[in-house]
Amino acid sequence: MPAGRLTLPIETGIDEQILQVLARFKADAVRNSDGTELPALVSELATKVYSTYFPARGDQEWALGHPDSFVHQYLMSAPRTSLAEGPLEIDPMAGYFPHQFVADIDCDVTKYWQVIDRTTGETVAPSAWHVTRDLGEAKKLGVPKANLVDTADQGKYPAPAHISETRPPSVPLVPVRVIIENTQVGHEYTVNVLAKQIWDSTQMYNYVTNDWYKDPARHKELPYDAWRPEVWQHMQEGLDLWLAEHPEVDVVRFTTFFYHFTIAYDYAGREKFVEWFGYSASVSIEALQAFAAQYGYELTPEDFVDQGFYNNPFRSPSRRFLDWIDFLSAFVASRAKVLVDKAHAAGKEAMMFLGDNWIGTEPYGPHFADIGMDAVVGSVGSAATCRMISDIPGVRYTEGRFLPYFFPDVFCDEGDPVGEANESWRAARRAIMRSPLDRIGYGGYLSLALKYPRFMDRMEEIVAEFRGIHAASAGKRPVNSPVRVSILNAWGALRSWQTHMVSHAQYYRLTHPWIGVLEALAGLPFDVRFVSFDQILSDESVLEETDVLINVGAADTAFSGGSVWENPQLLTLLRAWVAGGGGFIGVGEPSAHKVHKPGASTHFFQMADVLGVDKELGQGLSSRRPQTALGNHYVLDGSEKAPGGKTRLELDQTAEDAKNVFAINEATQVLALNETGIRAAVNSYGKGHGVYLAGLPYSETNACVLYRAILWAAGFQARAAGAEDPLWYADDPRVEVAVYTGENGVKLCAYNNTEHDVTCTLHGSSQVEEIRLRGLEARWFDLHNP
């Protein structure tokens, strides 16, 4: 087996096994994990040593001695409706886990809390409500019984003992209530509360998942905020001391820097709200004051709470929230650079883990390069997340941490570690073939994985194949189609390869039809970039450098666009661009937004004229719309120049994709439909083309359909007629092909993306070759010199 390009987790107490594993896998780097320590023999190993480092947690003694330094998070109370005239009592922390959050009642609550009448949307004046610690005050004030908190419910739902048995002594539990005076009957009210976070989110996860509560030596770690001067001084001094005490460490793996993505647990210690891109745990009074001084206006609690949606990425971002992202990212970059420079001065590399406390370090943002990181490592849960890591600019190398984690939720009698390893590799390999990672690695408890020899055997095969890909491709990207593809949404490049993600790569039923577009593109032979609506409006050259635009998602989300489609300039720019020869592909409810202006278009899909389809909302049911699916078309039926051979491809779709879509005129070519509406259609528009797909959950077939839809939308099929296709392809969509050119000629890799044996024919230029691939097999061929 070739050596290197592999990082393995190690731990204390298994020295002999560590030596055997390193010899077997020829790893060139070792690491500890959150919850494990590096063994003493690490200094004897001929490998790089990574060590996790947590700038914003880990020094519990210091944190307990500085109780004013906690990270804060904005939370919205559960809505309460006033059912009787008079005051209303609200418990702002009801439903939240009391061992994760406590309300900050030491701040100026009239400024940093907020009460909103959700029926009217109006903020209730601070003079009309107050906060009390006296739980009997509401009765003393004569709050009607219907508007009182039901004290009988208190304590009904205790959290599991194993995650609530201890509490930091410096943070007493002080129940609070908000009493709103003179509420209106039938109106719903909420409280936006500034809360202290008294338990780190990742630690909570490990207590639940990895049984950390069984270890009496562990303690619950309190996070602290880098905005506080005393915290920042401690962070710098702490790193200096740590670097001096750990000469054996070669790579400081910052996990990550200062602010955790949003996780709020409920009363039972379960995840209540999780948002991979959440900034609601990045607030502090110091930060809010600095923001106001720099931007000239003050943010309100509602700017973070956002009607209880917390500015999740499906929401079209407000200008105020985008300002906060930029402001916080600049702050994080400036302070992270100081820590990275310290690591460099100590002769060590600096690596950032793309997870945990990564908020403010978005790697495609304008400030990330200023930090000076050497590398980024992240968890590979899909092809899209693999591209999210491998495409990061401005670092010397990228590393993907493969699944499964060596954790007891998978490595147990009910788990399937080999199956999860195969699925992780299948998805990651598609992305690696298009954009190579420099390294791979694993995380967790090596002692646990060693109990599963079949998994260790399979891991050895995966590692060998990864190294083989890197050796054969020389770490270069393969030949791509000349068609240039851009994903169009409100976030643009900031969220490259991260659209429709909720909790990293976790499956979500409602996003399944949309995220498949990204998953398919991650392994297709196109140059892909991500552009925003604002970018197109401000720089028309974006369209000049694009052949196909893809707009995908549910109506009125940041991904489909929402109210941005009310801008006539955007519509006229895109229509003119398509008519001039561009391609526009819409998936789900593209450009969907109901415009409520007298005399405005009745379309729901604002690009309906380009796509040739629109969606019925129940107001045009009197119209007759006959439509029949075509028998043949390039997008779904093969040709000698398209993957899939000459057999018709059937879209793999789900019940969650768009319904009630109809053709707007006879010129629309319907490719697939059922009783709920059109599933696929194409439309010619001037010199350009529109393509509509109701949904595209990832499958090998759907990836092939998207490939062909892009070529057709770009007019590439017509341009290439009679000419040699620059790409090789397999006539079975389960097999994909990558071609690499270099000094030593041309190498081709054909790889089977399923666990079933496949016989197919490879086509390229005038050459044809029939091959048979075993399940998940990849095979390399030497071709003619370029």
The catalytic residue positions are 356
Single-letter amino acid code for the residue at 86: G
If one counts every other C-beta atom within 10 angstroms of the C-beta of residue 785, the result is 9
User: H or E segment at 419?
Assistant: helix 417-434
> What DSSP string runs through 166-235?
---TTS-----EEEEEEEPTT-EEEEEEEEEE-S-HHHHHHHHHS-GGG-TT--PPPPB-TTSHHHHHHH
> What DSSP string runs through 82-93?
--SSEEEEE-TT
User: H or E segment at 700?
Assistant: helix 700-713
Confirm if 187 and 119 have CB atoms less than 8 A apart.
yes
Q: Counting beta carbons within 10 angstroms of the beta carbon of residue 102, is it exposed (0 to 12), middle (13 to 18) or buried (19 or more)? A: buried
- Contact residues for 286 (Cβ-Cβ < 8 A; gap 6+): 225, 227, 228
In terms of Cα–Cα distance, which of 487, 476, 561 is closest to 521?
487
Alpha carbon distance 509, 70 (integer Å)? 35
Alpha carbon distance 683, 579 (integer Å)? 11
Alpha carbon distance 270, 726 (integer Å)? 52
Confirm if 180 and 124 have CB atoms less than 8 A apart.
yes
Q: Which residues pair with 452 in a beta bridge?
A: none
Alpha carbon distance 649, 94 (integer Å)? 52
Confirm if 720 and 696 have CB atoms less than 8 A apart.
no
Q: Counting beta carbons within 10 angstroms of the beta carbon of residue 738, is it exposed (0 to 12), middle (13 to 18) or buried (19 or more)? A: buried
Structure tokens, 92 = 């702002």
Structure tokens, 573 = 């720019």
Give CA separation, 48 vs 5, 30, 251, 405, in Å. 11, 6, 7, 21
Q: At what angle do helices 417-434 and 453-473 cross, to 10 degrees?
A: 10
The helix/strand count (H/E) of the chain reads as 21, 34
In the three-class reduction of DSSP (H, G, I as helix; E, B as strand; rest coil), residue 445 is classed as coil
In terms of Cα–Cα distance, which of 717, 699, 700 is closest to 708?
717
Q: Which DSSP state fits 157?
A: S
For the chain, the C-alpha Rg in angstroms (whole number) is 28
In the block, which residue shows the tokens 């499956």? 507
User: H or E segment at 75?
Assistant: strand 72-76
In terms of Cα–Cα distance, which of 301, 341, 316, 330 is closest to 108?
301
Across 649-774, the runs of DSSP E, i.e. the strands, are 661-663, 669-674, 677-685, 688-693, 729-730, 735-742, 745-752, 758-764, 767-773
Alpha carbon distance 781, 751 (integer Å)? 11
